[in-house]
């Protein structure tokens, strides 16, 4: 029983990080939904705009033009990923960099799942551009997923370097 209690307590910090990502993501999206109409854009700097975009697809609007089935596909994929990530966190919660990466990805994935369940699309609002080139709009959840993926790569590079 003590082993199970120890495992769940080591899981709590990582779930807290994921929850913070979800809260920050949903809070910022709520602000955008309240202040912007679909398609609105406000320049913040010469390379950064706040916009309101609805993405029915995945990264870079992948499958956005599909007939609607993609909403439930991505909800299911996000839920399956969340279960897998929690399982990994239970097994590897002591590996701080790895677990931090997973917690960020978990929070980001669930933040976007919440959007799909509530709205049928993901609210994107961060737009970076330079010299007429525009990177696809994204949000806090996407940022957390990207940072988490970068940390996974860093963790693996450090692991390989230590073993070699």
Q: What is the pLDDT of residues 44-67, one digit of tens each?
A: 999 999 999 998 866 655 555 555
- Could you tell me the residue ranges of all domains in the chain? 2-131+142-163
pLDDT digits (tens, 9 = 90+) for 105-162: 999 999 999 999 999 999 999 999 999 999 999 999 999 999 999 999 999 999 888 8
Q: Is 52 helix (H, G, I), strand (E, B) or coil?
A: strand
- Which of the 8 DSSP states describes residue 37? -
* pTM score, whole prediction: 0.88
**Which position among 25, 40, 115, 142 bears the catalytic label?**
142
pLDDT at position 1: 44
- Which of the 8 DSSP states describes residue 138? B
* CA–CA distance, 160 with 164 (Å, rounded to integer): 6
Q: Active site includes 142?
A: yes
pLDDT at position 2: 45
* CA–CA distance, 110 with 116 (Å, rounded to integer): 10
Instruction: Check whether 78 has a pLDDT greater than 70.
Output: yes
Strands 41-43 and 48-55: antiparallel
Ordered alpha helix ranges (H), 93-130: 96-119
* CA–CA distance, 14 with 91 (Å, rounded to integer): 12
Contact 57, 66 (CB under 8 A): yes
Contact 47, 130 (CB under 8 A): yes
* CA–CA distance, 75 with 59 (Å, rounded to integer): 14
The whole-number average pLDDT for the span 94-107 is: 97
pLDDT digits (tens, 9 = 90+) for 5-43: 445 558 999 999 999 999 999 999 999 999 999 999 999
**Which position among 25, 40, 115, 124 bears the catalytic label?**
124
Q: Active site includes 25?
A: no
Helix (H) or strand (E) holding 125: strand 122-130
**Strands (DSSP E) along 37-77, which ranges?**
41-43, 48-55
Higher pLDDT, 93 or 28: 28
Higher pLDDT, 72 or 41: 41
* CA–CA distance, 17 with 35 (Å, rounded to integer): 27
């Amino acid at each position: 029983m003590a082993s199970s209690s120890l495992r769940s307590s080591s899981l709590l910090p990582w779930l807290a990080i994921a929850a913070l990502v979800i809260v920050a993501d949903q809070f910022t999206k709520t602000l955008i939904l309240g202040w912007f109409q679909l398609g609105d854009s406000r320049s913040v700097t010469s390379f950064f705009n706040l916009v309101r975009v609805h993405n029915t697809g995945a990264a870079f609007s992948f499958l956005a033009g599909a007939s609607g089935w993609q909403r439930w596909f991505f909800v299911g994929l996000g839920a399956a990923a969340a279960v897998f990530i929690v399982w990994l966190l239970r097994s590897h919660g002591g590996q701080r960099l790895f677990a931090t990466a997973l917690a960020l990805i978990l929070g980001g994935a669930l933040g976007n799942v919440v959007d799909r369940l509530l709205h049928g699309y993901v609210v994107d609002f961060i737009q970076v551009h330079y010299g007429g080139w525009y990177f696809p709009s994204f949000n806090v959840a996407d940022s957390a997923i990207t940072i988490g993926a970068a940390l996974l790569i860093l963790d693996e590079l450090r692991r390989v370097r230590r073993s070699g």
